[in-house]
Structure 1
Amino acid sequence: MRIRRFGAFMSAVLISSTLVGFSPKSMDYNHTSSNAITQEETEASIVNMQAIIDSLEKDGDFASPAVSRALKTHITAVGHYESSKSYKKAIKHMESFHVLLNNYVTKGMISENAANLLRDYADALISKWDAIFDSARVMDYLHQLSVEIGPRVAGTDGERKAAEYLKSQFQSFGYETSIQEFAINNRTERTLKILNNNKELALGAATGSSVTGVKGVTGDFYHAGLGQPGDFSDDAKGKIALVQRGENSYWEKVVNATNAGAIGVVIYDNTDSLTPVRPTLNNNSTIPVVGITKDDGEALLAQLSKGAVKANLIIHTHTNQKSQNVIAVKKPANVVNPEIVYITSHYDSVPYSPGANDDGSGTSTIVELARILKNFPTDKELRFVAFGAEEVGLVGSNYYVRNLPKEDFDRSLINFQMEMLGAKYEPASYLAVNTVDGKANTAWDYTNAAFDKLGKDKEKLILFRRGSSDHVPFHNAGITAACFNMGTANGGLEPEYHTHHDTIENISPERLQFAGDIISTAIFDFLTDHNSQEKDLEEAS
C-alpha cells in the first residue's frame, strides 16, 4: 500500500477534527496557485476537493478539461460512499484515486505539484474517515466470530480460535497484545450431531440423565411417538429414540425406551419455543437423555420419512479446563505511570449459540474502537480486554481485576464495557448505560453529553441498574464502570438472547452504527477532557 505523506501530528489533528469540528488551517502544498485557495477550501471535504480541482483547471495544471472531469467524477463517486457512511469503501476508492493521479502524471497530463496537492488532500480525507466508527468493519469482525468460528463456549476450541483471531486483529493495529490464561470449572459437553448432514442441534439438559464416554453413542433414530409402551417395537433396540413431549411423564418415556433397548432418548417439545425443552426426570436414567425444540423435532421426523437418520449423542464432562483473556495495550509516549482506561467486552458464548449479539457485537465494537483509537493523541494508557468465560460466571473479568498489580490498580481510571449492541429486534432501539448501583457516573455523563452533541433523541437513552456483565468486577474493586447495551425501553432484551437463533442475520448494522457513534464520541471526549497534552495540541495547531 502507498505510504501516506501525512505526518503523525497531522494525522492526530485530523482525528480530532472529526470530533470537534477542527479544520486544518495551514497546509503547505508547495504550489503556485495554493494562495488562491481559501481556508474554507482546505477543510477536508469532498465539496472542497472538487473546488480545488476546478481551481487547478483554471490555473492550467491539467492537459485538458477531460482530466478535470475524470478526477471530479471519481471524487463524486467517493462522496456517495461518504454520504452513506460507508467509510471503508470511501477509503478504498480514495486510495484508488492515487492510482489515477499517478497515471496522469506518467502521461504528462497533470503537473507534479498539482498531483502532490491532490494526493495530500486525498490523504487528509482518508485520515479523517479512518478515524470514524464504521459499522461495516464491525460486521466484518462479527462475521469472523459468529459465522466462521461460531459458538465460543468457555474452554472449547471455538473460544480459543476466537482469542487468536482477536489477538491478531489488535496486533494489526499496532497494540502490545497478550493472552492471559486461567482455569475454569469442569465443562459438560452436550452434543447431538446429525451425521447425515453434519448438523449440530441445540440441546436442553435433562436432569437425571446418564453420561456417555468422550465419543458418545451413535445410532439411527427410532420414531417412538409419545413414548408409550406400544410406541416401541424390536426395531428400537440399539437406536436413539425420538419422542414427543406430552401425555405421559418424561421419566415414563425414558423407562419405556430403556426397556425397548434404546441407547438414548431425544425428547422434542410440543409447543413452539426458541429454546430447547429441558426434561426433568426425577430419577436417574441409565441411558443419555436430552431435549430439543419442536422445530428441530419435526425437522428430524421429516428426514426420517425419507430414510434412515444417524446421529451421535454425547454427554461428557471435560476436566482441567482453561479459558483466556485477550489484552491489547497502547501506552502513551513519555508519560510516567499514566492513568488506565479500559474498553472491554466478553467474546465467549453460551452453548449452541453463534453469539452474534451476545457478545460478538460488543467484542466487534471494541475491535473497531481499537482501530480508530490507535493514533489518537492521549496521555492515558488504553487497554482493550476481551474476556473469556463470562457466560459461566464472569470468570475472566474477575480473574483479570483480581490479578491486577497494585501499581496498575492504582492507575485504573474507568471501564467502558460493551455488551449486546446490535439486535435487529425492533423494540431494542434504546441505548442503556448499565451501572451496578443504578447511579449516574462519569461514563453516563459522557454518554449523555454525546447524545446532545450528536443531536440524538434523548428518549432513546436510559440509565439502568444491572450487573451480570464484566463491568461488575471493576465496580466492586472501586473503579468507575458502566456496561452499554441496546435493549427495550424497560431494559429488556431480544427473544433470540441465549438461543441458537443469536445469529448474524439478526444483527442490525444501523443499530451498531447508532451505538458506536455515541460510545466512540463519549470515549473520545472523555480522553480529550482528561488529556494533559490537549493544550499543547491546540497551541501547535
Structure 2
Amino acid sequence: MKIRRFGAFLSAVLIGSTLVGFSPKSIEYNHTSSPAITQEETETSIVNMQALLDRLEKDGEFSSAAVSRALKTHITAVGHYESSKSYKKAIKHMESFYVLLNSYGNKGMISENADNLLRDYADALISKWDTVFDSDRVMDYLHQLSVEIGPRVAGTKGEKKAAEYLKNQFQSFGYETSIQEFSISNRTERTLKILNNNKELALGAATGSSVTDAKGVTGSIYHAGLGQPGDFTDDAKGKIALVQRGENSYWEKVQNATNAGAIGVVIYDNVDSLTPLRPALNNNSTIPVVGTSKELGESILAQLSKGDVKANLIIHTHANQTSQNVIAVKKPANVVNPEIVYVTSHYDSVPYSPGANDDGSGTSTIVELARILKNFPTDKELRFVAFGAEEIGLVGSNYYVRNLPKEDLDRSLINFQMEMLGAKYEPASYLAVNTVDGKANTAWDYTNNAFDKLGKDKEKLILFKRGSSDHVPFHNAGITAACFNMGTANGGLEPEYHTYHDTIENISPERLQFAGDIVSKAIFDFLIDHNNQEKDLKEAS
C-alpha cells in the first residue's frame, strides 16, 4: 500500500481540532473549466470525495465513464461503513481503493493528477478514521478476552493469558509496556468439567463440603433424583451423584449419596436462577459437594439421556498465588516530569464467568482508547493500566497506587476508570459517572460537556455515588477519579452481572460506541485544555 503522506501531522491536526475535519494543503485542484475548490469542499469527508470524483470526471481526468462509475461505486460503498461508524471496515475498503487506482493508473485510464489527488484524499480519510473510537475493534478485543480466553479469575492461567494478550496489544501501538506482579490470597478452585465435551460448569460452594487433591475425583454421573434413599442403587458406587434440590435437606441428600458409595455430589436447583445454588450442609461431608443451577443440572440430564457422562470434580485450595497489572505508558517528548493521566480498567472476572461486560468491555475500551491516542499531541504522560484481581477486593489497583513513587503521585492529574460499558440489557442505557463521594469533579465536568458537544440526550447521563471499582485507590490517594459504566436510571446493573451468562452475546456494540464516543471526547478535550505547552505559547504571544 502507498505510504500515507499526511502521517503524524494530519493526526495531530485532526485531534487538535477535535476531529471536526481537515483541509489537506496538497489537495488543491484548479482546472480551466472548473472554479477553484472551496475550503468547505476540501474538508475530509466521503461526500467531498464524491464531489471531487464528479469534478475529475467533468474535466476529463478519466478515460471513460466506466472508470468514473467504478471509482464512485467503490467510494459509495465505503461511505456506508463510515455512516454506520464501522471505521475499521471503512479503512479496509478504502485501502482496497488504492488497488483500483493502481490498476487504472498502470493502464493509463486516469490522469496522474487525478491519481495523486485521489490517493491524497484517501490517505486523509484513513488517517481521520484511524483516530476515531471504533466499537468494531472493541468487539474484536472483547472476543479474544471473553471467548478465546474466557473466565479470567485472579491467579489462574486464564488471567495470565489475558495479561499477555493485553501487553502485546499495547506494545503493537508503540507503548512502553510492563507486567507488575503481586501476591494474592489463596484461591479455592471448584471445578466440574464434563469430560465428554470438555466444558466446565458454573458451581456454587457448599458449606461443609470436603476437599480434594489437585486432580480431584473422576467418575460417571449418576442421576439420583431427589437424593432419597430409594433413589440410590449399587450402581451409584464410585460415581458422582446428581441430585435435585427439594423435599429432603441438603445434608440428607449427601448422607444418602455417601452411604451408597458415591465419590461426589452435585445438587442442582429446582427454581430458575442465573446464579448457581450454594448448599448449606450444616455438617461436614466426607465427599466433595457442590451446587449448580437448574439450567445446568438439566443440561447434564439431557446428556445422560444420550449415554454415559463422565466428569471431573475438584475442590482444592491453591497457595502462593499471584496476579498482575498490565501497564502501558506513553511519555511526551522533551517534557521533564510531565503530569500523568490514567485510563484504567480491570481485566479479571469472577469464577465461571467469561466476564464479557464485567470487565471485558471496559478493558477492551481502554485498548481502543490507547490505539486512538497513540499519536495524540499532548505534553501529558498517558498511562493505560489493566488491573488484575479487582474481583477479590481491588487488589491490583490498590497495589499499583500504593507503590507509586511520591514524585508520580505529585504528577498525577486524573483517573478515568472504565467498567461495564456494553450490556445489551434494555434498561441499561444510562452512562453513569461514579465518584467515591458522589460529588461532581473534573471527570464529570468533561463528560457533561461531551454530551452537549456531541448532541447526546442529557437524560442518559447520571452522577452516582459509588466505590467498588478501581477508581477508589486513586481517589483515596488524592487523585481526581471517576468510574464510567452503563447501567439503569437508578444505577442498577444487568441481570447477567457476575454470572456465567455474562457472555459476548449479551454485549451491545451500539452501547459500546455510545459510551466510547463520549468518554473519548471527554479525554480528548481534557488533554487539549490542559496542554501546558499550548498555554505557554498563548501567554507568550
TM-score, structure 1 as length reference: 0.96
State the alpha-carbon separation in 1 of the partners of residues 325 and 187 from structure 2.
18
For the pair 1:413 / 2:443, whether they are aligned, the reply is no
**By how many angstroms is 1:266 displaced?**
0.5
- Secondary structure at 2:48 match in 1: helix
For residues 309-340 of structure 1, give each alpha carbon's deviation from its aligned partner in whole angstroms, at most 9, with x where no partner exists: 11100001111111111111111111111100
Structure 2 match to 1:173: 173
For the 8 Å contact 1:14–1:124, the answer to whether it is kept is no
**Residues 352 and 56 of structure 1: is their aligned pair in 2 closer, same or farther, counting only changes over 3 Å?**
same
**Residues 20 and 50 of structure 1: is their aligned pair in 2 closer, same or farther, counting only changes over 3 Å?**
closer
For the pair 1:322 / 2:322, whether they are aligned, the reply is yes
Structure 1 match to 2:371: 371
Structure 2 match to 1:249: 249
Counterpart mapping for 1:17-416 below 5 A: 17=17, 19=18, 21-24=20-23, 27-29=25-27, 33=31, 36-416=36-416
Mean Cα displacement is larger for which, 68-77 or 174-183?
68-77
State the alpha-carbon separation in 1 of the partners of residues 7 and 140 from structure 2.
29
* Aligned AA (2:522): A
State the alpha-carbon separation in 1 of the partners of residues 304 and 456 from structure 2.
53
Structure 2 match to 1:481: 481
Q: Which runs of 5+ in 1 are unaligned?
A: none
**Residues 421 and 538 of structure 1: is their aligned pair in 2 closer, same or farther, counting only changes over 3 Å?**
farther
- Secondary structure at 2:407 match in 1: helix
State the alpha-carbon separation in 2 of the partners of residues 62 and 538 from structure 1.
47
Mean Cα displacement is larger for which, 341-350 or 529-538?
529-538
**Residues 79 and 497 of structure 1: is their aligned pair in 2 closer, same or farther, counting only changes over 3 Å?**
same
State the alpha-carbon separation in 1 of the partners of residues 14 and 230 from structure 2.
77
State the alpha-carbon separation in 2 of the partners of residues 148 and 536 from structure 1.
48
**By how many angstroms is 1:476 displaced?**
0.6
For the 8 Å contact 1:16–1:22, the answer to whether it is kept is no
For the 8 Å contact 1:432–1:485, the answer to whether it is kept is yes
State the alpha-carbon separation in 1 of the partners of residues 531 and 432 from structure 2.
27
Mean Cα displacement is larger for which, 341-350 or 71-80?
71-80
State the alpha-carbon separation in 2 of the partners of residues 79 and 537 from structure 1.
39
**Residues 442 and 185 of structure 1: is their aligned pair in 2 closer, same or farther, counting only changes over 3 Å?**
same
Structure 2 match to 1:448: 448
Structure 1 match to 2:511: 511
* Aligned AA (2:145): L
**By how many angstroms is 1:20 displaced?**
5.5
For the 8 Å contact 1:15–1:127, the answer to whether it is kept is no
State the alpha-carbon separation in 1 of the partners of residues 75 and 371 from structure 2.
25
**By how many angstroms is 1:95 displaced?**
0.9
State the alpha-carbon separation in 2 of the partners of residues 538 and 238 from structure 1.
81
For the 8 Å contact 1:142–1:360, the answer to whether it is kept is yes
Counterpart mapping for 1:419-498 below 5 A: 419-498=419-498
State the alpha-carbon separation in 1 of the partners of residues 376 and 137 from structure 2.
19
Mean Cα displacement is larger for which, 292-301 or 445-454?
292-301
State the alpha-carbon separation in 1 of the partners of residues 171 and 104 from structure 2.
37
* Aligned AA (1:243): V
- Secondary structure at 1:92 match in 2: helix
- Secondary structure at 1:36 match in 2: coil
**By how many angstroms is 1:146 displaced?**
0.3
* Aligned AA (1:96): S
For the 8 Å contact 1:207–1:282, the answer to whether it is kept is yes
For residues 255-303 of structure 1, give each alpha carbon's deviation from its aligned partner in whole angstroms, at most 9, with x where no partner exists: 1111111111110101110111001111111110000111111222222
TM-score, structure 2 as length reference: 0.96
State the alpha-carbon separation in 1 of the partners of residues 90 and 297 from structure 2.
47
State the alpha-carbon separation in 2 of the partners of residues 290 and 116 from structure 1.
68
For the 8 Å contact 1:30–1:113, the answer to whether it is kept is no
For the 8 Å contact 1:343–1:366, the answer to whether it is kept is yes
**By how many angstroms is 1:355 displaced?**
0.3
**Residues 307 and 21 of structure 1: is their aligned pair in 2 closer, same or farther, counting only changes over 3 Å?**
closer
**By how many angstroms is 1:357 displaced?**
0.3
**By how many angstroms is 1:65 displaced?**
2.8
**By how many angstroms is 1:102 displaced?**
1.6
Quote the RMSD (CA, aligned, Å).
1.7
Count residues in correspondence. Answer: 537
- Secondary structure at 2:434 match in 1: strand
* Aligned AA (2:458): K
- Secondary structure at 2:211 match in 1: coil
Q: Equivalent pairs: percent with the same residue?
A: 88
**Residues 233 and 412 of structure 1: is their aligned pair in 2 closer, same or farther, counting only changes over 3 Å?**
same
For residues 509-535 of structure 1, give each alpha carbon's deviation from its aligned partner in whole angstroms, at most 9, with x where no partner exists: 011111111111111111111112446
State the alpha-carbon separation in 2 of the partners of residues 180 and 223 from structure 1.
47
* Aligned AA (1:21): V
* Aligned AA (1:130): D
For residues 213-238 of structure 1, give each alpha carbon's deviation from its aligned partner in whole angstroms, at most 9, with x where no partner exists: 11000111112121122222222111
- Secondary structure at 2:532 match in 1: coil
* Aligned AA (1:476): N
- Secondary structure at 2:267 match in 1: strand
State the alpha-carbon separation in 2 of the partners of residues 538 and 12 from structure 1.
18
* Aligned AA (1:65): A
Q: Which runs of 5+ in 2 are unaligned?
A: none
For the 8 Å contact 2:27–2:121, the answer to whether it is kept is no
State the alpha-carbon separation in 2 of the partners of residues 286 and 67 from structure 1.
80
For residues 109-161 of structure 1, give each alpha carbon's deviation from its aligned partner in whole angstroms, at most 9, with x where no partner exists: 22223211111111111111111111111001000100001000111111111
**Residues 521 and 117 of structure 1: is their aligned pair in 2 closer, same or farther, counting only changes over 3 Å?**
same
* Aligned AA (1:348): D
For the pair 1:13 / 2:22, whether they are aligned, the reply is no
For the 8 Å contact 2:390–2:470, the answer to whether it is kept is yes
State the alpha-carbon separation in 2 of the partners of residues 538 and 89 from structure 1.
40
